[in-house]
Structure 1
């Protein structure tokens, strides 16, 4: 039997090790060599889907590979987010995230199916104010009148959202708590189904992300009662803020971004981030988003990580303060 000395084995290992690192570096330099999947934890047609499809074409151009959108809705975004968090950390699975999945659900669900730390920030895509919309049958021209109706008839009116734990759910619960009104929450599997239900008269109102809601508002099929941000929107200059409607101190803004599984090489993260940022700088993309009350940001991994940390610290306190719970 041939014997190999321990020293010889160590020398052989030392010779192989640089080749292994060289191969890994080569793979990162060549990324991507196949299509990249972008998981969107919401249904097609909602704001998340609209944003991702808006940047899809330019991202494909920059990366040199197809970016395939995979809608995985359900459980307030938890299903798709968990799927993305468990993917291989190679950059070929990117997951869309927002305020709900990264800063709200972890404090609302005992087990959302993933940990925020298991997702590495890539790009802070957008900042968004929400809009409170109503079916034309609701006899109120603005939020102030609607809240007066709700106080006179507790439990009569309903408010649809993109699901339990979603940003719109939290925005609605904050409004109910601060305005001291009883409005029944009706969760859906995404913002688009909630708007469809509102159009059909199944519910009274929806706290909506604006990209999907604005076309119906401008067509006169739905009416805007208020916007949730600090200031009025350029897209809806005649619509008051919630604070202007008598709920002093109310302000709610959401955000969207991209992540990859923790452990993804930094060089790969930087390539994906650069592609997303380039897409947001496209004139037609920026104009489309801005017209929909959705402001492009395009900040990189560091800035996005800092935002997530700030938001988690803020919402862990506010959710307890307002006693917000999953229905």
Structure 2
């Protein structure tokens, strides 16, 4: 009836089971520790091969120019002989690139530029776009440029109030050229028109460059592009307002919508990001190198030469910003869908 002294068979069986469970836990723990030991050195040595950087727009545009200006300095501060290959994937207002990036292995070897709010509005326009606002882990923001309301230099419109008065008086509203109907500047014009109680006829022109050309050619009454794009043509155009709460460094003499008494603000935030799920040590290294690259005097000189306004935004702050934009623009989409030309 009894095996070990003082213990019956049932008690001995219970003890053996407990020992077996303990051994199983020990083996599992050792397996995990061994796996971590193998992963940690690989992440510590990151990057060990070339990194692919996806730009969601065509070569030569503002996002492409900004990314290519910073990337050599990101390589420099990542160390380990880092090499970053730029691949342009234009299409659907950036959604083609965002979907591809979101679907890649989150190991730090495919990163890219993600513009806000474009990456937020994509899923609103198409539920099957291939990504969501939570698909990205942000490395950092490189610049934050407000949208503008811009007219030709010889236009009789010299102030925002004159623009509003003329828009209200003209049947069908003024024509406003925008890079695309889903673009941030189109969204900004939708918000401003709703707040000011006016009608505008938005004309999609397939990019900031063509939009400015249409304005200069007299084919549209006004345009909404980034302040950087507008100021590059400052001798031929007049920026009557920038949709922001503070004046951009590149446009210190242009009033903001907020100082003129309106609440509407509209910015394109150009950021570097990785797919969600990228290991924390890799993200830490990318974020640290990004900040060092932004602070590099050589890069800042390059940015000044290329007229790139710099505004560093921490990666964790961009996660919050994306969520806030998602909430605000979802409400706007329900009441004033900006894909309609008249909104």
Write out per-residue CA displacement over residues 87-117 of structure 1, whole angstroms, 9 at most, x where no aligned residue.
1211111121122233333334333331122
Alignment of 1:74 onto 2:91: yes
More divergent stretch after superposition (147-156 vs 13-22):
13-22
Task: Give the alignment's TM-score, normalised by structure 2.
Answer: 0.79
Alignment of 1:126 onto 2:140: no
Give the superposition deviation at 1:244: 5.1
Q: How many residues are paired up?
A: 315
2:203 equivalent among 178, 186, 198: 186
Corresponding residue number in structure 2 for 1:47 = 62
- Inter-CA distance 91–171: structure 2 relative to 1 (3 Å threshold): same
Alignment of 1:84 onto 2:101: yes
Matches within 5 A, 1:13-162: 18-63=33-78, 64-136=81-153, 138-155=155-172, 157-162=174-179
| Residues in 1 aligned to 2:144 and 2:70: alpha-carbon distance in whole angstroms | 15
- Inter-CA distance 195–82: structure 2 relative to 1 (3 Å threshold): farther
- Inter-CA distance 274–71: structure 2 relative to 1 (3 Å threshold): same
Corresponding residue number in structure 2 for 1:4 = none
Give the superposition deviation at 1:156: 5.7
Task: Give the alignment's TM-score, normalised by structure 1.
Answer: 0.83
Alignment of 1:265 onto 2:279: yes
| Residues in 2 aligned to 1:190 and 1:79: alpha-carbon distance in whole angstroms | 16
Corresponding residue number in structure 1 for 2:331 = 317
| Residues in 1 aligned to 2:241 and 2:159: alpha-carbon distance in whole angstroms | 7
| Residues in 2 aligned to 1:65 and 1:226: alpha-carbon distance in whole angstroms | 42
Bigger radius of gyration among the two: 2
What is the CA RMSD across the aligned residues, in angstroms?
3.1
Alignment of 1:248 onto 2:262: yes
| Residues in 1 aligned to 2:217 and 2:51: alpha-carbon distance in whole angstroms | 37
| Residues in 2 aligned to 1:34 and 1:41: alpha-carbon distance in whole angstroms | 22
- Inter-CA distance 129–292: structure 2 relative to 1 (3 Å threshold): farther
Corresponding residue number in structure 1 for 2:320 = 306
Write out per-residue CA displacement over residues 156-186 of structure 1, whole angstroms, 9 at most, x where no aligned residue.
6322223232211111111221222222112
| Residues in 2 aligned to 1:58 and 1:203: alpha-carbon distance in whole angstroms | 40
- Inter-CA distance 225–26: structure 2 relative to 1 (3 Å threshold): same
Contact 2:94-2:119 within 8 A present in 1 as well: no
Write out per-residue CA displacement over residues 98-143 of structure 1, whole angstroms, 9 at most, x where no aligned residue.
2223333333433333112222222233333222222345432233
Structure 1, unpaired ranges of 5+: 1-9
| Residues in 2 aligned to 1:285 and 1:183: alpha-carbon distance in whole angstroms | 40
- Inter-CA distance 190–29: structure 2 relative to 1 (3 Å threshold): farther
**SS across alignment from 2:287:** helix
